[in-house]
Structures are given as structure tokens and as C-alpha cells.
A and B are shown apart, each in its own frame.
Chain A
């Protein structure tokens, strides 16, 4: 004879696999989610490494009038594209297409003014919405260097030292690296890797409690010769095992993608072996069980699927809070972080990704804290189902 919680578990599991909605969620979060993260990271790497690989494209109108300027631009690795005059709309269009960082226009009067030593006008057209400020600044630097060169030459011709015009010499040093800029984003992406634990079992948890209540089949079930902990336990394991399957597949896929991406380019490391990953997955099993237990304990009190879903969408944000707080306060990794479910998993993965020996304690604490939470949730749900007030409301 099968134990009764196993009977309930097998039935709930089979029923969930027949539900297209929950299967869809499962597939989406195990396949789409890591793929999406991979794509975002890929974009980030692309963007971070682009300036080093290619020069700045600059469209110039009337380039022939200032050959020295063109030569200086080329020296600074700025590609000059000689362009015919195109009017304001044409320039705007060209900038929006992002083929060039900016457009430099030398009016026809430039040569004449230059010869006559009148201020010769040069127009720099740019689109501040395209976020190419760095490149624009490079171009402006060349322009001002060009300007002071000419000024210096003219002063020298009058017997004045050009140094007089330069009482201050400004030199800029940028210590920010691309890596530091993307580190924040990637940190939060790692945090979100554990989110599917709360999604993959959700549908099963809600359907087997609030859904069963809505379809008016819970009373029958509660009148069977099975204890409430057996009923709750079976439902909990069904939702939990879906979450476990989901998060394990998702972490494996994410691991494959992260190992494949050239993360070193943005100063991030993913020094995780398959053995490390297996340990992290194992330590995360209770997280899925905790999520399922929490969802069942909450959803069983709702009268309908919809009500349970809207309540749970708030509840599901709660586990994300510690992780967000820690990253906002920029706290250093401490042992207490391993006793907060979710945060412990995030911390564990982050520390593992950095490489280096962690020891057994973080794994044990991560495993234990979620398991404790799961048992408390299931205990509460069983107690609640036994209570008279619950029986009456069914």
C-alpha cells in the first residue's frame, strides 16, 4: 500500500503536468529566463568592449577647408567621413541612425574667416539622446587642441609665448572601468537566478489548494481517511518538485551560458565548475520546498485561484527584499546572510562564482534555513486545514 501523501503527490503531479498553463510557466522560466539573462549579458559585453575595438566615426561637411584638423582627427583614431552638405533634417536623420557619433560642419565662409583671422565658425551636431557623450568629448578635445595650436602659432608670430594663454593645464584621469559599471547589473542578475524557485511551483501550489477549493472538491478530499498533513504534504511535494526541476534545469542552462560568455571582458568571473554547480543546486533544493510550502500556506486561505494569485504576487516579492537591501547598502558578505532563505542562495552563488574555497558551513546553513522555513510553512498549513474555521469555509 502506497503511503497516502505519495498518492496525493502522484495525483497532483500528474494533474499539473496536464495543465498547459503551469507547464508553460515551467518551460518559460527554465529555458527563456537563462536565455534572456544571457542575451542581456551579451549585450552588456558588446557595449562595454565596443570603443576599444572600433574607432569613432565622424561625418564632416566641407572637410577640404581644414586639412590640418582632418589630420589631427585621424591621429586620434577618429574616422572622418567626407559628406556633402545635407541640411538640418538630413543631419538629424544621420545622427539618429547612429552610424556616426557626430557631424562636423564647416561653413563655406570658414576658409575666408580663417585667412582673415576672424573667429571661423565650426558647427558640431550631435544627438544627446544616443548616449555617445564619451565619443563627443573625444571629438571636442581634438577641436580644442586644434584651436589652441592655431592660437599658439598666431601668438608666436606676434612674439608672445603661447604659455601665457594657458595658465592652467587640465589633465583628466578616469578610473572607472567598464567592469565596475556592469558589476552592479550582473550582481542583480545573479540574484534573480533563484527567482524561478518561486515561479515554477506556483501554479501547482495554487491550483491544488485555492483552485481545489474554487472547484469545490476540497471537502470531499478532507473527508477521506487521510490526515491533513498527508494531504498538505502531498500537495507541497508536488509543487516543490516542480520548482526543484525548474530551478535545477534553469541553473544548469544559466551555467552553460555564463561559462560560454566572455565575462572576463567586463571584469566579471564565473569560476564555477559543474561540481560547484551541483552543490549549489543541492543546497537550493530546500529553497524550492520553502517556496512551495509558503505558497500552499498562503493559497489555501484564498477562495479562488485569482485571489490566491494576487495575494501571492505580493508574498513572492518578500524573499527578494533581503537581497535588494544587501545590494543597496553594499554590505560585505557575512555569515548571517546564509541563514536568510533566498539571500543565502544568492550569496552562495556569488561567492562560488568568485572562486575560492567556501567550506561546508555556507552550504549547510543555506540548506538548513530554507528547510526549516519549509517545514514551518507546511506545519502551519496542516494545522490550518485541521481547524474548524477552515472546514466551515470550504
Chain B
């Protein structure tokens, strides 16, 4: 369970977050929708306690990431636009490194790596060094790293970008499985189809503010627009170029 209320963050003259409030339930996939520059990255960084907020409150399973970042991070799988692979390590070594950083023991870690690798269909690249991996392979490895320590919360920034159809399906299946295990998944994405198929809840943020939260259907009802994409554009309030 992730709860944020009135989170504000200012960098010098720039108001990155002007008041973000939302809650993401356990056992649900929550989509984070927002145009580029809406403050998604800042929000995600504040959620893991890398940035301190100026105002408002954040709790992750009741723990404030600013007060106890280690507990929060141990309970979060974090996938950003930086994959963070190491070219001179094989996938298994890479996963072992992050597993150990999360305090996992040797034997459970080895089992878990095999498990995650099967879940994401990446057995073929497990013993290879990541130099020369394709975009899809890189995302898989990064996603495996985020899932490795069985976090109760997942913060994913565009987890399916650059993936082919098969891999996208594998990722969606994995996310559905995690949802049924009771994980709280927050996923920033720009793919509307994914949102309407996969996500239970949608948070729309624009210019650092939460504009709306609800299920895809609720958002459509609220705006009176049947198409989710058009509803999103209307909520964000910048439809120039699209209406034309």
C-alpha cells in the first residue's frame, strides 16, 4: 500500500511537484499517466527516499521513506529509465549482486534467480555478459533485478518499452501474477492499450499535480469521453496537435 498526500517538491525556481496525492492498493496495478516532464521521475525518487519532499506525507506500508529509507527500499522493486546493467558481469552475477545488496542468502538467492528467469523467459541470457544485449533483453534483466527480492511494491517506469510482442506478453503475465500474489504495482506508461487491459487504477499527473485518480472506466465516465486516450488528453488539458 502506497499513500501520498499533498507531496510538493521545489528545485530552485522550478516547482517539480505541486501537490500530488494518491493511494495505490495492494493486489492492484496502478498506472501513472502523465506527459513528459509531469514530475513522474521526481515522484518515484521521492517514493524510494532518494529525494526529500518539501511538504506532504508519503507512507509505504505505513513507513515514511524519508525516515527509514532502508526498510522502504528493501520492500520496493525499482525500475527506472536507467537499467543499470554492468557489461562485464553476466546476468546471473548481476542479479546475485543486487540480491546480496538486498540481504538475500546464497541458496534462496540462487533459487529465486532461476524462478525469476523462468518467469521472464530469459534462461538463454542468464549466463551471458550483458554486453551486446538487445533493448528487450536489457529490460528483462532490469525487471528481474526489480523482482528479485520479492518486494511487496513495484515502481516501474515504462517496463514494456522496446519489447517485442512476446516479451511484452511475458512481462504482462508476470505483472498479473504479482498482482494476484497481492503486490502493489505502480507503473508509469504511455501505452493506453496497456492501461485499459492491465491496470485497475489510473493516476493522472500533469505539471506536478494529480489531476485525477480512478479506474479507467471512471476516468472515461468523468470526462464523458469513451476513449481512454482522449480522456487522458482532456484531463491533462493540452490537446493541441492531437485535436488538429
The interface of chain A, by Cβ under 8 A from chain B, is 1-2, 4, 7-8, 11, 14-15, 18-19, 215-227, 388, 391-392
Given A1-B105, A391-B51: A220 in contact with B97 (beta carbons within 8 A): no
| CB–CB A220/B83 < 8 A | yes
A-B contact count (CB 8 A): 76
> Which among A1, A220, A227 is the interface contact of B70 at CB below 8 angstroms?
A227
A148→B93 CA distance, assembly (Å): 88
Task: Give the residues in chain A near B52, CB-CB below 8 Å.
Answer: 388
Contact code string B79-120 (vs A, CB < 8 Å = 1, else 0): 010111111110001000110111101000000000000000
Contact code string B27-52 (vs A, CB < 8 Å = 1, else 0): 00000000000000000010010111
> A272 CB to closest chain B CB, in angstroms?
39
| CB–CB A220/B51 < 8 A | no
| CB–CB B84/A221 < 8 A | yes
> B7 CB to closest chain A CB, in angstroms?
15
Cβ contacts A to B, 30 pairs, < 8 Å: A1-B103, A2-B100, A4-B100, A7-B97, A7-B100, A7-B101, A8-B101, A11-B86, A11-B93, A14-B93, A15-B89, A215-B86, A215-B87, A216-B82, A217-B82, A217-B84, A218-B84, A219-B50, A219-B82, A220-B80, A220-B84, A222-B50, A225-B69, A225-B71, A225-B103, A226-B70, A388-B51, A391-B45, A391-B50, A391-B51
A56→B70 CA distance, assembly (Å): 80
A216→B85 CA distance, assembly (Å): 8
> A374 CB to closest chain B CB, in angstroms?
24
A220→B79 CA distance, assembly (Å): 8
Task: Give the residues in chain A near B74, CB-CB below 8 Å.
Answer: 225
Which residue of chain B is the closest to A222 with respect to CB atoms?
Answer: B50
> B77 CB to closest chain A CB, in angstroms?
10
The interface of chain B, by Cβ under 8 A from chain A, is 11, 45, 48, 50-52, 69-71, 73-74, 76, 78, 80, 82-89, 93, 97-98, 100-103, 105, 142, 145
A15→B103 CA distance, assembly (Å): 20
> A28 CB to closest chain B CB, in angstroms?
20
Task: Give the residues in chain A near B85, CB-CB below 8 Å.
Answer: 215, 217
Q: Which of B51, B71, B88 has the most CB of A within 10 A?
A: B88
A14→B98 CA distance, assembly (Å): 15
Which residue of chain A is the closest to B88 with respect to CB atoms?
Answer: A18
> A89 CB to closest chain B CB, in angstroms?
61
Task: Give the residues in chain B near A215, CB-CB below 8 Å.
Answer: 85-87
Q: A217-B82, A220-B145, A225-B101 are in contact. List 12 more A-B contacts (CB 8 A).
A: A7-B97, A11-B86, A215-B85, A217-B83, A220-B78, A220-B80, A220-B84, A223-B80, A224-B101, A225-B69, A225-B102, A391-B51
| CB–CB B100/A224 < 8 A | no
A390→B213 CA distance, assembly (Å): 32
> Which among B11, B73, B80, B86 is the interface contact of A225 at CB below 8 angstroms?
B73
A218→B93 CA distance, assembly (Å): 17
Given A217-B84, A225-B73: A11 in contact with B97 (beta carbons within 8 A): yes
A227→B73 CA distance, assembly (Å): 11
Which residue of chain B is the closest to A392 with respect to CB atoms?
Answer: B11
Task: Give the residues in chain B near A224, CB-CB below 8 Å.
Answer: 73, 98, 101-102
A225→B98 CA distance, assembly (Å): 10
A36→B70 CA distance, assembly (Å): 50
| CB–CB B70/A223 < 8 A | no
> Which among A1, A2, A15, A223 is the interface contact of B73 at CB below 8 angstroms?
A223
> A30 CB to closest chain B CB, in angstroms?
22
A253→B98 CA distance, assembly (Å): 39
Q: Which of B50, B71, B76, B101 has the most CB of A within 10 A?
A: B101
Q: Which of B48, B51, B86 has the most CB of A within 10 A?
A: B86
| CB–CB B50/A19 < 8 A | no
Which residue of chain A is the closest to B44 with respect to CB atoms?
Answer: A223
A192→B183 CA distance, assembly (Å): 59
Which residue of chain A is the closest to B94 with respect to CB atoms?
Answer: A11
Which residue of chain A is the closest to B73 with respect to CB atoms?
Answer: A225
> A261 CB to closest chain B CB, in angstroms?
40
A15→B97 CA distance, assembly (Å): 11
| CB–CB B73/A217 < 8 A | no
> B54 CB to closest chain A CB, in angstroms?
11
Task: Give the residues in chain A near B97, CB-CB below 8 Å.
Answer: 7, 11
Given A2-B100, A224-B98: A219 in contact with B73 (beta carbons within 8 A): no
| CB–CB A220/B50 < 8 A | no
Which residue of chain B is the closest to A18 with respect to CB atoms?
Answer: B88
Task: Give the residues in chain B near A223, CB-CB below 8 Å.
Answer: 45, 48, 50, 73, 76, 78, 80
A4→B74 CA distance, assembly (Å): 13
Given A225-B70, A391-B45: A219 in contact with B89 (beta carbons within 8 A): no
> B9 CB to closest chain A CB, in angstroms?
10
Which residue of chain A is the closest to B149 with respect to CB atoms?
Answer: A225
> A207 CB to closest chain B CB, in angstroms?
9
Task: Give the residues in chain A near B100, CB-CB below 8 Å.
Answer: 2, 4, 7
Task: Give the residues in chain A near B82, CB-CB below 8 Å.
Answer: 216-220
A217→B51 CA distance, assembly (Å): 17
A217→B105 CA distance, assembly (Å): 24
| CB–CB A219/B101 < 8 A | no
Given A2-B100, A224-B98, A388-B52: A11 in contact with B80 (beta carbons within 8 A): no
Which residue of chain A is the closest to B16 with respect to CB atoms?
Answer: A392
A19→B101 CA distance, assembly (Å): 23
